[in-house]
Structure 1
Amino acid sequence: MNPFARGKKKPRTAIPAPETPPAAPSGPEAASPGPEAASPGVDAASRTLTGEEKADAMPLREHLLELRTRLIRCVISVFAAFAGLFSCAPFIRGIMEKTLKAALPPTGSITFTDITEPFMVDMHLAFVLGFFVASPYIFYQIWAFIAPGLYASERKYVVPVALCSALFFIAGGAFCYIVVIPFTYSFFIGYGGGEATPLITLANMYRYSLKLMLAFGIMFEMPLFSFFLAKLRIVTATRLRAWRKYAILANFIIAALITPPDVLSQLLLAGPLLLLYELSILVAATFGPKPAAPDKTDKADKADPQPAA
């Protein structure tokens, strides 16, 4: 073995060439970023509101300002109707007094015990009747304030519902004046007419009459409440039928709270309330969600059960 002989050289390893990045695409492909660049985790479109949503998304301060504006409009409408009716309040009072005089015995009369009583009665009468006259505009302002919180398909009902609300309110007051008040006058005056001479004051007569008219007007709104609760899928006709026995009890409790403290007035209010509750069931069945039809496959499985293995 030659000690001076050179050993074999180790083979040299090739140094890898540095990787060059791919060339950027040219043309229309370069202008459109990929999905990773366009939406880093969350799509940008999902973080922005559309124009309609921006219009509907009102902060609390703007809601309160709008509520104040609509309340001011309602108050102005009531006072405008009050100003127009106060000038003819004595004429209206004379018409309403005929209803009471028809129930009075020949010895009975209508009196007043305070020098300002006729004037205050006329103001009270003009104010309450002004509320009835302005009720279409008032109910429109109420439903227009609620409208931004409704779906677009439900906003088309705002004007019809506002009109129906006013009609039901006026119908309740008219029903009370035409049917309930003459009946209650005749009943109570006839009940004690043989023992004492009735001397009824103006304030007592109008306080009783106007309170009843307002109570009937408010309670005649029940089908409208049922309509909106059914559209919002809060109540259904099936639930209203199941709650009928509780509604009967609630109607008599409400009638006892908002009518004068006599059984006859409570019965005269609770009776129409029960009819309005049945009408509310019909409204909920017409405009509310329909019950889902059972699946045909389920019917077939129930009709032809598979034999056990």
Structure 2
Amino acid sequence: MPIIDPNAPGAEQPLLAHLLELRTRFLNALYGVLVLLLPMLFFARDIYAFFAAPLTKLLPEGASMIATEVASPFLIPFKLVAILSIVLAMPWILYQVWGFVAPGLYKHERKLIAPLLASSTLLFYAGVAFAYYITLPAVFHFMIGVAPAGVQVATDIGKYLDFILTIFIAFGVAFETPVAVVLLVWTGFVSVAQLKEARGYVLVGIFVVAAIITPPDVASQVLVAVPSYLLFELGILWAAWIGKQRARDPDPA
């Protein structure tokens, strides 16, 4: 009986080897998060002040944010830097995920998924940056402008963090639209021609989803929906290009 080398390409690994590899990858990802988290803890207050700037810059003179709970001044900045360390470590985390699943993929799958992982990370960061520099100032300017006379805007730091995290996640996910479109076409769920025919329905659906995942104001809904639809069109172009590449250079795997 021939002896099979477990390290040879395509060889099936025992379950224990998979579990050990998964543990190693998980610990590597955790170490990457801790490397970012520990230094940022010393600057947690400054980091929170940076993320609070879109609101604090618009507050009337003498007004400030408030903390309604005793431990909020410590816990809220710590929560922010903990989440931020995970987000910043995402390329390293995805690299560990890729290192674990790549050996089990076909060649044509590796050629597609690696760029998708990289582009999805960049698109998520782009969505967060768009939300911070464009959406939040517009939303807060609108909110403060419509406040009734005699009402002073004094937001709790915990409520503010929850609000901006919701906005960041909404925009980060919305900016993943091209990746979602490519995956739908690549898996054969829909075709590029079907997506082009469904543009009108997609536009309405995007506005409905934007109304659900964003705070109840028109400004944030529009600022989510419009870039999402433009990214949907970009996804169609990307999927069509990949389809042409696959037709030109088919992979027998």
Normalised by the size of structure 1, how large is the TM-score? 0.67
* One-letter code aligned to 1:116: A
Partner of 1:100: 55
Structure 1 residue 231 displacement after superposition: 3.9
CA distance in 2, matches of 1:72, 1:247: 41
CA distance in 2, matches of 1:55, 1:282: 34
CA shift digits 1:42-71 (9 cap, x unpaired): xxxxxxx99899735457776566555544
* One-letter code aligned to 1:125: L
Partner of 2:35: 80
Partner of 2:250: none
Structure 1 residue 191 displacement after superposition: 0.8
How many residues get paired? 245
* One-letter code aligned to 1:176: A
2:173 to 218, 221, 228: 218
Partner of 1:150: 105
1:254 aligned onto 2:236: no
1:129 aligned onto 2:84: yes
CA distance in 1, matches of 2:88, 2:184: 27
| 8 Å CA contact retained: 2:6, 2:13 | no
Partner of 2:155: 200
Structure 1 residue 88 displacement after superposition: 1.1
| 8 Å CA contact retained: 1:233, 1:289 | no
CA distance in 2, matches of 1:246, 1:149: 37
CA distance in 1, matches of 2:104, 2:184: 14
CA distance in 1, matches of 2:101, 2:190: 19
Structure 1 residue 234 displacement after superposition: 4.1
Distance 1:258 1:93, change over 3 A: same
Structure 1 residue 228 displacement after superposition: 3.8
| 8 Å CA contact retained: 2:170, 2:213 | yes
**2:65 aligned counterpart, secondary structure:** strand
Partner of 1:185: 140
| 8 Å CA contact retained: 2:91, 2:118 | yes
CA distance in 1, matches of 2:24, 2:188: 30
5 Å-filtered alignment, 1:262-277, equals: 262-277=217-232
1:242 aligned onto 2:197: yes
CA distance in 2, matches of 1:238, 1:50: 46
Structure 1 residue 164 displacement after superposition: 2.1
Structure 1 residue 137 displacement after superposition: 1.2
CA distance in 2, matches of 1:138, 1:242: 37
Distance 1:51 1:90, change over 3 A: closer
Distance 1:242 1:60, change over 3 A: farther
Structure 1 residue 159 displacement after superposition: 4.2
Structure 1 residue 85 displacement after superposition: 1.7
Structure with bigger RCO (C-alpha 8 Å, 6+ apart):
2
**1:103 aligned counterpart, secondary structure:** coil
5 Å-filtered alignment, 1:157-168, equals: 157-168=112-123
Normalised by the size of structure 2, how large is the TM-score? 0.81
Structure 1 residue 215 displacement after superposition: 2.2
Partner of 2:66: 111
Structure 2 unmatched runs, 5+: 248-253
Distance 1:68 1:229, change over 3 A: farther
> Percent identity among equivalent residues?
35
**What RMSD, in angstroms, separates the aligned Cα atoms of the two structures?**
3.1
Structure 1 residue 146 displacement after superposition: 4.0
Larger Rg: 1
**1:192 aligned counterpart, secondary structure:** coil
CA shift digits 1:125-156 (9 cap, x unpaired): 10221122101112223344443443213424
* One-letter code aligned to 2:41: F
| 8 Å CA contact retained: 1:136, 1:165 | no
